[in-house]
Amino acid sequence: MKIYVGVLSSDMTENKLKSLFQTYGHVTSAYILKESQNGQYLLYGLVEMPVKKQALSAIKSLEGIKLDGITLSIHPARMGSRNRRRSGRSGGRRTYDPPEEKKSKK
């Protein structure tokens, strides 16, 4: 299962990101993606865990924690070209599709 992690501090490394998730199980890969917006870079993470139960446990436990002064947003990544955005003049591109917001039924 692929997991999106954003936004990361500039101090984050792929090894640190992998270690954060290894607490919950085996991590196949961990990458840091850079996106340019308004002349500044935003860092996002993409982590892959082969065991879905472990990945969901990591998401539940790590969502909303503060790391290096930044509150993390963590959720399952949605890969594909649907809804892929390209930022204006910077030429940067997101390599994931953020989840659609769910409307609660009352």
Residue 7 pLDDT exceeds 70: yes
Q: Give me the pLDDT at residue 91, please.
A: 46
The answer to whether 26 and 52 have CB atoms below 8 angstroms apart is no
Sheet holding 73-76, edge to edge: 29-37, 40-48, 2-8, 73-76
pLDDT band of residue 90 (cuts 50, 70, 90) is very low
- For helices 14-22 and 52-62, the axis angle rounded to 10 degrees is 100
How confident is the model over 59-83, as pLDDT tens digits? 999 999 999 889 999 999 987 644 4
The answer to whether 56 and 67 have CB atoms below 8 angstroms apart is no
* Portion of the chain with pLDDT greater than 90, in percent: 56
Residue closest to 1 by CA, chosen among 73, 84, 78, 62: 78
How many CB atoms are located within 10 Å of the residue 3 CB?
A: 22
- pTM given for the model: 0.71
Write the single-letter amino acid at 23.
Answer: T
> What is the Cα–Cα distance from 49 to 56, expressed in whole angstroms?
9
- The CATH code that applies to domain 2-76 is 3.30.70.330
Q: Give me the pLDDT at residue 38, please.
A: 79
How confident is the model over 21-49, as pLDDT tens digits? 999 999 999 999 988 877 778 899 999 99
- Domain residue ranges in the chain: 2-76
Would you give the DSSP letter of residue 78? B
